[in-house]
Amino acid sequence: MHNAAFRVLGIDAVYLAFDVPPVRLGAAVSGARSLGIRQLAVSIPHKQAVMEHLDEVDPTARRIGAVNTVTLRGERLVGSNTDWLGAVLALERETKLSGARAVVLGAGGAARAAVFGLLERGARVVVLNRTPERARALASSLGAHGAGELSELRAGAYDVLVNTTSVGLKEERSPIRADALHPAALVMDAVYEPEHTRLLRDAQAQGARTLSGKWWLVYQAAEQLRLWTGREPPIETMAEAFDRAARA
Ligand code: ATR
């Protein structure tokens, strides 16, 4: 996605993937600093641990508790988070969030980013998780409006549903029962492999609108590109790059 964007924007840069084991994270960050690498995208499982290796973490990333973007500013490595804005911009392709009743499934880092973003945009947010204590802790730390177990989801009780659990990742399962879905809902999955998860197909079968994890992934990457280059990200180009990679 990033390389496709660099090409159409005429930016002389290359994005490379490195598989870094947790014990090598500090060495990887200081190696990147020494090499003068300008930007890092940080993924699972390093989004929290990377913070202690940076010179600065911006207040939003600190509040979410995770960094997915590192930028070299002069001599300083600065951490930020584009996952929350990625989730919001993806949802805003389809709906207005202010005043919407939103339910976020899950209570990990992706859930924190989604809940933060939805609250920023003025939604009413409830967090549901397999382990309800984690949902309650997340809700109270970010100021969400309610929390509970996955089984508490009721059709009709929400406008926007965001799955951040790993259920459905490379498997044919949904985190919720199909009868908890309804036609007026907008349902987004964080899972993008497969792109059309069981949850999204169940939602479509109920007549709901859906957004695949591809859009969340594309928009968080697009916001990284904006931070790094100051340029308007070419969303469609990045989405097409995702499609090509998914077909390969
Ligand atoms: P991330 O930081 O990427 O969001 P995480 O912190 O590992 O990932 O969180 C994974 C989420 O998926 C959690 O909400 C987890 O629920 P628990 O808090 O109860 O562990 C949820 N999850 C994982 N496997 C699940 C399953 N089989 N059924 C329901 N929820 C599941």
CB 91 within 8 A of CB 98: no
Find where tokens 């697009």 sit. Answer: 222
Q: Which ligand 1 atom sits closest to the C-alpha of 150?
A: 29
Residue with tokens 């969303």: 235
Residue 171 CA, ligand 1 centroid: distance in Å: 14
Kindly give the number of the ligand 1 atom that is closest to the alpha carbon of 164. Answer: 4
Q: How confident is the model at residue 95 (pLDDT cuts 50, 70, 90)?
A: very high
What's the distance, Cα to Cα, between the start and end of the chain in Å? 14
Q: Which of 138, 165, 177 to mutate to test the pocket of ligand 1 (most atoms within 8 A of CB)?
A: 165
Cβ(118)–Cβ(97) under 8 Å?
Answer: yes
Distance CA 100, CA 39 (A): 35
Is residue 96 part of the annotated active site? The answer reads no
Measure 109 CA to ligand 1 centroid, in angstroms. 9
Return the bridge partners of 70, or none. 40, 79
Q: How far is the CA of 246 from the centre of ligand 1 (A)?
A: 24
Give me the half-sphere count of Cα atoms (radius 13 Å) on the Cβ side of residue 5.
23
Q: Which atom number of ligand 1 is nearest to the Cα of residue 134?
A: 18
pLDDT value for 98? 98
Sign of CA dihedral 195, 175, 119, 228: negative
Average pLDDT (192-214) is 98
Ligand 1 surroundings by CB, under 6 angstroms: 44, 106-111, 129-131, 134, 164-167, 175
Percent of the chain exceeding pLDDT 90 equals: 98
Q: What residues does 125 pair with on adjacent strands?
A: 102
Nearest ligand 1 atom to alpha carbon 44: 3
- Atom 29, ligand 1: residue with shortest CA distance: 130
Q: Give yes or no for a contact between 37 and 67, defined as CB atoms under 8 angstroms apart.
A: no
168 and 197 Cβ atoms separated by less than 8 Å: yes
Cα 200 to its chain centre, rounded Å, is 17
| Cα 212–Cα 214–Cα 220 angle in degrees, nearest 5 | 120
CA distance 148 to 31: 43
**What is the reported pLDDT for 131?**
98
pLDDT of residue 79: 98
Q: How far apart are CA 39 and CA 214, in angstroms?
A: 22
Residues 15-43 pLDDT 10s: 999 999 999 999 999 999 999 999 999 99
Q: Can you give the pLDDT at residue 212?
A: 98
Q: Rounded to an integer, what distance in angstroms lies between the CA atom of residue 136 and that of residue 236?
A: 37
CA 104 – ligand 1 centroid, Å: 12
Question: What average pLDDT does the structure give for the chain?
Answer: 97
CB 210 within 8 A of CB 186: yes
CA 107 – ligand 1 centroid, Å = 7
Contacts of 75 (CB under 8 A, 6+ apart): 55
Which residue is catalytic, options 47, 96, 170, 214?
47
